[in-house]
Amino acid sequence: MTHPDEETLAGLALGDAAGASDDLAHVATCPSCSATVADLRRVADAVSVSPRRLDLAAPPAGLFDRIEAQIDDEERDSEVLDQAHAVAPSPAIAQSPPTQPVAARARRRWGPVGRAAGAAAAGIAIGLLAGYAVWNEPAPPAPVEVASTRLDTLDTRQWQGMATLLREDDQELLSVRTERLDAGSGYLEVWLLNRDGKRMVSLGVLRSDGRSSFPVTQQLIDEGYVIVDISREGFDERPEHSGDSLVRGTLKS
Amino acid sequence: MTTVEGVLALDELVAEQDDLAARFASGSREALAEVYERWSALVYTVALRALDDAHDAEDVTQQVFVSAWGSRHTLRPSEGAIPAWLVGITRHKVADVRTQRYRRARNLAAVASVTPEAGSPPPEPDIAQRLLVAHEVDRLGEPRASVLRLAFIEDRPQEEIAERLGLPLGTVKSHVRRGLVQLRSRLEEVDDDSPR
C-alpha cells in the first residue's frame, strides 16, 4: 500500500481519523509514517505551548555595524593567512630575521624562568648566538616587588609559603614559593580568585619543588584578582577548580 | 473566501524566502542586511528571554549573525528555513553562555568549599522553541495562523473555530492539517546540528 499523504497523517496525529481505518492500519506497521505522525503531534504540542502574541524586542541600534565590522575583520584576517600560506610557506617565515635576539624575546615574555632556560641553553651550546645574547646583554633592571602574601592552609592557618607580585620591564609576574605540598595522585594548580567571589583564573601548574612564576597583568590585579589559591587537581576531564584548596592568601601592596 | 489568494501569497512568500536564502548562501552582503533586518529581533528576543541580560543578548546576537555568515554555505536554500536555522544557531550560543555561567558558579561553589552539584548545566527552558513556533505560526498568514492558535493554544473545537471565523468546517480542518505540515517542515531545522 502507498503511504498516506502528510495531510492525512496530520489528521491522524490530531485524532480525527473518521473513516480512515486503512490509514490507521498502515501507520501502525509503517515506521516512517508513524514517525511522521509523532513529529506532527510534537508540532501540535509545540504550538499549544507557544505564546499567543509574539512580542519581539529590537536589538540596540548600531549592532549591525558591529557585526559587519567583525565580519570584515575576520575576512581580512583569513585573507592575510591565505596569502601567507600561498606566498610564504614556513621556511620563508622561519628565515625572516627576528626583530630581537631569541633569548632576549624569551626573557621579555617569561622573565626569570625564560632567563634560566636561556642560560641553560647557553651552557650547553656556548658560542651560539643565543648564548652570546644572554651573556652580553646589559644587566636587566632588578624586578620590583609590588605586593605579596603569605600562603596559609585554610583550616589551621599554617604558613606554607609566599606569593610575590613582581614588576620588571612593565611586565607583572607572580612568583610562588611554597613548602612541599602534597599533590596526592594529581598535581597542584595555582589560581587567582577575584575579590568579588565570582571570578577566577587559572595561572598554571606548580612545579613539584614548589617554585614557579606565572605571567600576570596589572589589569588582572586592578580587576580584583588578588587572592592566590593553590588547589590539588586530579588528572581528569574537569578543567575547573576541584574545590580542594590547600593554601591561600590575599596579595597586599 | 480568500483561500486561493492566500495560497498564492504564501507561495510568493516562500519563493521570496528561497531567493533570499540563495542570495545569502552565495555571499551577498545585501542579503545579510536583509536577513538581519527581518530576523534580528527574533534572535535578540530569544537570547534576551533565555539569558535575561541585555548585554549578553546583544553579544549572542552579534555572534549568531557573524557565525551564520561564516557558515552560510550550510544553509540549504530550498528550504526557506532561515529563521529556524538562525534560532538553531542562537540556541547553541545561548547554551555556551549558560555553560560558562554555570562553570563560573560551580567554580566559586568549589572554592567556597560548598559541595558543587554534579552533572551538566541546568536544562534550558525552551524559550527558543516557543518563540520560533510563534514566529512560524505568524508567518503562515491569515486565516491559517488564527485557526491554529484557536485550535491549539486555546484548544477550541474545530466547529467553534469555523463559526467564530465564518469559515466552512472543511476549510478549518484543512488549515489545521496543512498548517501542521508546513510548520513541521520549517521547524525541522532547529533540532539538528546547526552551525555553532
Q: What is the CATH number of the domain that holds A171?
A: 2.60.40.200
> Residue A13 belongs to what domain range?
6-40
Residues A170 and A227 in one domain: yes
Q: What letter represents residue B62's amino acid?
A: Q
CA distance A89 to chain B (A): 26
Residue A216 lies inside a defined structural domain of this protein: yes
Put simply, the answer to whether B133 touches A50 (Cβ < 8 Å) is yes
C-beta separation of B179 from B148 below 8 A: yes
Identify which has the larger pLDDT, A137 or A173.
A173
Residue A246 lies inside a defined structural domain of this protein: yes
Task: Give CA angle at A69 (A64, A72), nearest 5°.
Answer: 125
C-beta separation of B24 from B80 below 8 A: no
- Other CB atoms within 10 Å distance of the CB of residue B2: 11
Res. B19: pLDDT tops 60: yes
Residue A83 lies inside a defined structural domain of this protein: no
- Cα(B84)–Cα(B105) distance, integer angstroms: 31
Predicted local distance difference test score (pLDDT) of residue A170: 80
The chain B residue lying nearest A68, using CA atoms, is: B66
Helices vs strands, H then E, count in chain A? 9, 8
| Low-confidence winner among B16-30, B45-59, B144-158 (lowest mean pLDDT) | B16-30
Query: In chain A, how many domains are there?
Result: 3
C-beta separation of A29 from A4 below 8 A: no
The chain B residue lying nearest A60, using CA atoms, is: B58
Confidence band, pLDDT 50/70/90 cuts, at residue B54 = very high
Put simply, the answer to whether B40 touches A71 (Cβ < 8 Å) is no
Residues A214 and A127 in one domain: no
Residues A126 and A196 in one domain: no
| Low-confidence winner among A144-158, A172-186, B8-22, B138-152 (lowest mean pLDDT) | B8-22
Q: What residues contact residue B49 under an 8 Å CB cut-off, 6+ apart?
A: B127, B131
Identify which has the larger pLDDT, A97 or A226.
A226
Q: pLDDT for A37-55, tens place per residue?
A: 888 888 888 888 888 888 8
Residues A187 and A154 in one domain: yes
CA dihedral A184, A189, A194, A196 (to 10 degrees): -30
Put simply, the answer to whether A229 touches B187 (Cβ < 8 Å) is no
Residues A128 and A153 in one domain: no
Mean pLDDT of chain B: 80
Q: Which of A112, A136, A160 is the last residue of a domain?
A: A136
Residues A192 and A164 in one domain: yes
Chains A, B: CB pairs < 8 Å: 138
**Residues of B with Cβ-Cβ distance to A193 under 8 angstroms:** 111
Residue A69 lies inside a defined structural domain of this protein: no
pTM of the complete model beyond 0.80: no
Residues A124 and A149 in one domain: no
Put simply, the answer to whether B111 touches A229 (Cβ < 8 Å) is yes
Residue A53 lies inside a defined structural domain of this protein: no
Identify which has the larger pLDDT, A18 or B32.
B32
Which three-class secondary structure state does DSSP give residue A231?
strand
Average pLDDT over residues A238-244: 86
In percent, the amount of chain A with pLDDT more than 70 equals 73
Predicted local distance difference test score (pLDDT) of residue B118: 46
**Residues of B with Cβ-Cβ distance to A199 under 8 angstroms:** 104
Residue A74 lies inside a defined structural domain of this protein: no
Residues A179 and A232 in one domain: yes
Beta bridge partners of A148: A164, A252
**Residues of A with Cβ-Cβ distance to B48 under 8 angstroms:** 57
Put simply, the answer to whether B176 touches A245 (Cβ < 8 Å) is no
Predicted local distance difference test score (pLDDT) of residue B113: 53
Pick left, alpha or beta for residue A127 (phi over 0 → left; psi -120 to 50 → alpha; otherwise beta).
Answer: left
Residue A132 lies inside a defined structural domain of this protein: yes
C-beta separation of A59 from B61 below 8 A: yes
Residues A164 and A206 in one domain: yes
Nearest to B61 among A63, A74, A241 (CB): A63
Nearest to B58 among A47, A63, A198 (CB): A63
B167 phi and psi angles, rounded to 5 deg: -115, 150
Residues A234 and A151 in one domain: yes
Taking alpha carbons only, the member of A191, A213, A216 closest to residue A116 is A213
Residues A210 and A168 in one domain: yes
The chain B residue lying nearest A75, using CA atoms, is: B70
C-beta separation of B153 from A52 below 8 A: yes
Interface test with A, best of B108, B180, B182, B190 (most A CBs within 10 A): B180
Q: What letter represents residue B161's amino acid?
A: I
Residues A148 and A245 in one domain: yes
Nearest to B180 among A44, A49, A54 (CB): A44
Residue A131 lies inside a defined structural domain of this protein: yes
The chain A residue lying nearest B156, using CA atoms, is: A48
